[in-house]
Amino acid sequence: KDRGKLRIQDNLDDLATELVEYIAELSEVSVKERGVFAIALSGGSLIGLMGKLCQAPYNKTVDWAKWHIFWVDERVVSKSHTDSNYKLAKDSLLSKVPVAPSHIHSINDSLSAEDAATDYEFALRQMVKARTVGVSQLNDCPKFDLILLGMGPDGHVASLFPNHIALEERDEWVTFLTDSPKPPPERITFTLPVINSASNVAVVVTGGSKAEALRMAIDDVEPDTPLLPARMVQPTTGNLVWFLDNPAASKLEAF
Ligand code: 6PG
C-alpha cells in the first residue's frame, strides 16, 4: 500500500516554508477548479508552522475570500478556553488574515460532546449540499480539498486514538469521545471515512519523540505491529503527504 510522499527538512523554518507553499498551491488549484477552498485544521504544533501564511507574499497572494475553514477535531470546551483548537487557530492565524467570519465553521461550544458532534455533522451536510465542500462519488462523504493532521507520539491523528472504538466508525462523519486518553477527555472528531475521502491529506510531524510511531505508520513493519491510527490514514483516491523534520524521520527506512 502506498504510504504517500515524504517531505523531510532539517529545520522547522524550512519545513514551515514548504508547508505554507503547499497549502497556497492547493488553495490556488481548488479556487480555480471549484471556486472555493475547503480546508480542515487540526490542533497542535501544526498551527504554529502555518504562521507564514499571515506574512508576505501569502497574506496578499492567497485568495482568502474563497477559504472555508473546518476543524478535523475539537475539544469540547468553550471557544475562549486555552484547550480550544478554534482559539489556537483564531489567535495565531485567522485573526491575521481576511477570512469571512461566516466561512469559519467552528464547533458549537454550548453543547454536550454528543450533541456537538451531531450538530457539526449537520452543518457539514449543509456545506456538502451547497458544494462548498466537495462530495466523494464513491461513498457520498465530504471531499475536503485539504485535511491537515498532526500525529501524537502514540500515533493518534485527529482525536482518533489507538484501539479506540471511534476508529471503527464507518457511518457517521463526525463522532464524539468522552474518554480521550489525552486531556481534555471530551472531544469531537472527523471519522476515518471523512479523512480518507479528502482530495489531499497532509500529516505534519516533528520531533524525535514521534520517530518510532512514524516508522510504524509508514514503513513495512512486522505483521504483529499494532495498527496505529496514523497508518489508517489512506486516502482512497486523494494524495497523502508527510511533512517531517529530521528527528521525526530519523527511524524511517527512507531516511
Ligand atoms: C488534538 C490535536 C491533535 C494533534 C496531535 C499532534 O486535539 O489533540 O488536534 O490531533 O494534532 O496531538 O500535536 P502536536 O503536533 O502538538 O504534537
Name 152's Cβ contacts closer than 8 Å, sequence gap at least 6: 182, 210, 213
Ligand 1 site residues, Cβ closer than 6 angstroms: 42-46, 73, 85, 150-152, 158-159, 182
> If you measure from the C-alpha of residue 112 to the centroid of ligand 1, how many angstroms do you get, rounded to a whole number?
21
CA distance 147 to 91: 20
Q: Are 73 and 85 a contacting pair, CB within 8 Å?
A: yes
> If you measure from the C-alpha of residue 160 to the centroid of ligand 1, how many angstroms do you get, rounded to a whole number?
10
Q: What are the 10-residue block averages of pLDDT along the chain, 255 residues in total?
A: 92 98 98 98 98 94 97 98 98 97 98 98 98 96 98 98 98 98 97 98 98 97 95 98 98 94
> If you measure from the C-alpha of residue 32 to the centroid of ligand 1, how many angstroms do you get, rounded to a whole number?
31
What pLDDT is attached to residue 29?
98
136: cell is 466523494
What pLDDT is attached to residue 1?
60
Q: Report which of 108, 230, 123, 107 is spatially closest to residue 173, judged by C-alpha positions.
A: 123
> If you measure from the C-alpha of residue 29 to the centroid of ligand 1, how many angstroms do you get, rounded to a whole number?
27
The residue whose CA has the least distance to atom 16 of ligand 1 is 44
Name 80's Cβ contacts closer than 8 Å, sequence gap at least 6: 87
Coil, helix or strand at residue 134: strand
The residue whose CA has the least distance to atom 11 of ligand 1 is 150
Q: Are 24 and 37 a contacting pair, CB within 8 Å?
A: no
The residue whose CA has the least distance to atom 13 of ligand 1 is 44
Which domains, and CATH codes, for the chain? 5-200+225-249 (3.40.50.1360)
Atom of ligand 1 nearest to the CA of 205: 15
Name 127's Cβ contacts closer than 8 Å, sequence gap at least 6: 38, 68, 105, 133, 142
Q: If you search the block for the grid coordinates 477548479, which residue do you land on?
A: 33
Amino acid, single-letter form, for residue 165? I
Atom of ligand 1 nearest to the CA of 153: 17
What pLDDT is attached to residue 2?
85
Length of the chain: 255
Q: Are 205 and 226 a contacting pair, CB within 8 Å?
A: no
